[in-house]
């Protein structure tokens, strides 16, 4: 049995979590999360709970709640605190949590408010002399740790079941690739309901016995402040590095702060070479890219101790097997930097299954290999460079994966919309921007046609604000082929 957080069990007095001016050491975290884990355990023994929802605000409470669920051996389903009605209804119906953990006073929306609730109380146990009691026994390695919802091309998001084994493996592989130690202080402002911010950004430092400073909300000024203090590593999505790259040339404090960091890591989408170049020119530092996915956690990374591999996502992490496969399903042997194939991966970093979706789980594998849908080349040094994606109906905006189909369905549920198609368009800041193409309803009962803003608000309310269209085009008809399928390529033309 792999002990997930040795520093918690050892009662280490070293700093562990800091959100704003609130902080906990590993020992204090054990003193808060241990009793909460016991309460979760009691509830799950009486109520048969195997899954609990966590209202995943970017706060100390969320980090404590997730650690408590992991100690209790109950799978945590982190929920975006800005989630819309339709998406929340789906996640609650699909994951059937028996309990919700939330910060005291948080106002929970309908389906979560209807569940039994445990407040994550921190105040008392965070006292200086807090002495942790015994922690529950370590759950088995294959026990589900987290269920993270992720978009597909069609239909509502799927729950990715991540076992403790995958979490432990990926974090240890990153320890090796980045020489990540207990002395590192990680700085970031990522949301805590996805793999990047939660597993890498919170569980990563806890597993190393190091610490994380979460900024609450991203700003270049906050990054400069924390890296000028004791921060040693920065994690961010390309949109964040793009904003840093725009400011760094004219902000010597930011340039100095980025220059003194031990490691700047970008992931969740591709970081354009122009942003790499701007940051390196102003700071003398290179940003390292790593490549992962909710289903696989981390697959490859540029190594901190390796040669410059800017513009690639580096080499496979220890224990992870990566291959490129051509259209006929044959493995590509060439490492010529030119032959493009789909990335497939296998290894202890992989998820177990999509919750309640054996069909989707089957379809995602080619034998033991997981099909990522990402297209890449491999160079002579073994570095992978991602060149595109198989599915045009998946959009990466601000580092969030968003399925065109779920937005189309949400738009069609608006009474003023007769037809809808959604595409991604290149965007300097977000990487890709969501664009909606809409034919409005023109019947006698349909009222005045909706405005672009009204449709964006509608999607934000139904799904989540980051899924709202940033541009809406109104058309008389959508271009379709003889079969009635929308010709998305013709839309941008």
Interface residues with ligand AMP (CB under 6 A) are 150, 195, 267-270, 289-294, 313, 372, 374, 386, 389, 396, 401
- Nearer of residues 218 and 437 to ligand MLC, judged by Cβ: 218
- Nearer of residues 62 and 268 to ligand AMP, judged by Cβ: 268
Q: How far is the CB of 184 from ligand AMP (least distance, A)?
A: 20
Does the footprint of ligand MLC cover residue 41 (CB under 6 A)?
Answer: no
Is residue 400 within 8 A of residue 466, CB to CB? The reply is yes
| Binding partner selected for residue 208 from ligand MLC, ligand AMP, none, CB under the kind-specific 5 to 8 Å limit | none
| Binding partner selected for residue 190 from ligand MLC, ligand AMP, none, CB under the kind-specific 5 to 8 Å limit | ligand MLC
Q: Quick one: which of 439, 407, 441, 399 has its CA closest to 423?
A: 407
Q: Give the torsion sign (CA, 399, 403, 408, 410).
A: negative
Distance CA 384, CA 355 (A): 30
**Residue 56 neighbours by CB under 8 Å, 6+ apart:** 62, 78, 79, 80, 81, 191, 192, 193, 198
In angstroms, what CA-CA distances link 257 with 10, 215, 243, 345, 410? 33, 15, 15, 36, 43
Is residue 431 within 8 A of residue 269, CB to CB? The reply is yes
Q: Quick one: which of 219, 222, 226 has its CA closest to 184?
A: 226
**Residue 123 neighbours by CB under 8 Å, 6+ apart:** none
Q: How far is the CB of 193 from ligand MLC (least distance, A)?
A: 8
| Binding partner selected for residue 166 from ligand AMP, ligand MLC, none, CB under the kind-specific 5 to 8 Å limit | none
Closest-approach residue to ligand MLC (CB): 398
Task: Using the rule CB under 6 A, give the single segment among 85-93, 186-194, 277-285, 336-344 that binds ligand MLC.
Answer: 186-194
| Binding partner selected for residue 313 from ligand MLC, ligand AMP, none, CB under the kind-specific 5 to 8 Å limit | ligand AMP
Does the footprint of ligand MLC cover residue 166 (CB under 6 A)?
Answer: no
Q: How far is the CB of 291 from ligand AMP (least distance, A)?
A: 4
Site for ligand MLC in 280-299 (CB under 6 A): 292-294
Q: Among the residues of 293-357, which ranges form H helices? A: none
Distance CA 276, CA 439 (A): 40
In angstroms, what CA-CA distances link 226 with 161, 202, 219? 34, 16, 11
Does the footprint of ligand MLC cover residue 347 (CB under 6 A)?
Answer: no
Q: Binder to ligand MLC among 165, 169, 188, 194 (CB under 6 A)? A: 194
- Nearer of residues 75 and 146 to ligand MLC, judged by Cβ: 146
Does the footprint of ligand MLC cover residue 267 (CB under 6 A)?
Answer: yes
Judged by CB under 6 A, the number of residues near ligand MLC is 25
Residue 200 half-sphere exposure, CB side, CA atoms within 13 Å?
34
Site track for ligand MLC across 440-469, x = CB under 6 A: ----------------xx--x----xx-x-
Query: In this structure, what is the dihedral angle of CA atoms 354, 158, 191, 99, given to the nearest 10 degrees?
Result: -80
Distance CA 360, CA 152 (A): 10
The residue written with tokens 């490549």 in the block is 291
Is residue 448 within 8 A of residue 483, CB to CB? The reply is no
Q: How far is the CB of 230 from ligand MLC (least distance, A)?
A: 23
Q: How far is the CB of 396 from ligand MLC (least distance, A)?
A: 8
Does the footprint of ligand MLC cover residue 239 (CB under 6 A)?
Answer: yes
Does the footprint of ligand MLC cover residue 390 (CB under 6 A)?
Answer: no
Task: Using the rule CB under 6 A, give the single segment among 192-200, 281-289, 330-338, 437-445 that binds ligand MLC.
Answer: 192-200
> Which residues of the chain form contacts with ligand MLC (CB under 6 A)?
82, 190-191, 194-197, 218, 237, 239-240, 267-268, 292-294, 398-400, 456-457, 460, 465-466, 468
């Amino acid at each position: 049995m792999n002990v997930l957080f040795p520093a918690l069990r050892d009662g280490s007095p070293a700093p562990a979590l800091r959100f704003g001016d609130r902080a906990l050491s590993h020992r204090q975290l054990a003193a808060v999360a241990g009793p909460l884990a016991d309460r979760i355990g009691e509830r799950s023994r009486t109520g048969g709970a195997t899954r609990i929802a966590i209202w995943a605000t970017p706060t100390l409470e969320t980090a404590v709640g997730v650690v408590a669920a992991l100690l209790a051996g109950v799978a945590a389903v982190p929920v975006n605190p800005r989630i819309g009605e339709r998406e929340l209804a789906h996640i609650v119906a699909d994951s059937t949590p028996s309990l919700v953990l939330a910060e005291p006073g948080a106002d929970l929306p309908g389906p979560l408010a209807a569940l039994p609730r445990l407040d994550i109380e921190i105040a008392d146990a965070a006292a200086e002399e807090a002495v942790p009691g015994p922690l529950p026994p370590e759950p088995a390695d294959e026990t589900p740790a987290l269920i993270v919802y992720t978009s597909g091309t069609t239909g509502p998001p799927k729950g990715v079941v991540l076992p403790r084994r995958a979490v432990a493996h990926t974090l240890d592989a990153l320890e090796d690739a980045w020489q990540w130690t207990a002395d590192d202080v990680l700085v970031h402002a990522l949301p805590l309901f996805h793999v990047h911010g939660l597993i890498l950004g919170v569980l990563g430092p806890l597993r190393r016995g190091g610490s994380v400073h979460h900024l609450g909300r991203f700003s270049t000024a906050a990054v400069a402040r924390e890296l000028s203090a004791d921060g040693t590593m920065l994690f961010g999505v390309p949109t964040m590095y793009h904003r840093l790259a725009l400011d760094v040339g004219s902000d010597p404090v930011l340039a100095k702060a980025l220059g003194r960091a031990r490691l700047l890591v970008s992931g969740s989408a591709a970081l354009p070479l122009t942003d790499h170049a701007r940051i390196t020119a102003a700071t003398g530092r290179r940003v390292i890219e790593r490549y992962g996915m909710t289903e696989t956690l981390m697959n490859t990374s540029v190594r901190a101790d390796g040669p410059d591999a800017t513009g690639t996502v580096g080499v496979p992490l220890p224990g992870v097997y990566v291959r490129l496969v051509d259209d006929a399903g044959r493995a590509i042997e060439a490492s010529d930097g030119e032959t493009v194939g789909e990335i497939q991966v296998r290894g202890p970093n992989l998820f177990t299954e999509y919750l309640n979706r054996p069909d989707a789980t089957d379809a995602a594998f080619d034998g033991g290999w997981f099909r990522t849908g990402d297209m890449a080349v491999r160079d002579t040094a073994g570095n992978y460079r991602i060149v595109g994606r198989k599915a045009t109906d998946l959009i990466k905006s601000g580092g969030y994966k968003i399925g065109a189909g779920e937005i189309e369905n949400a738009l069609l549920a608006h009474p003023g919309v007769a037809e809808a198609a959604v595409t991604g368009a290149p965007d300097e800041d977000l990487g890709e921007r969501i664009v909606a193409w809409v034919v409005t309803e023109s019947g006698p009962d349909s009222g005045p046609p909706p405005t672009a803003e009204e449709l964006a608000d509608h999607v934000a309310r139904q799904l989540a604000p980051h899924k709202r269209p940033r541009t809406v085009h109104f058309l008389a008809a959508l271009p379709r082929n003889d079969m009635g399928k929308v010709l998305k390529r013709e839309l941008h033309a």
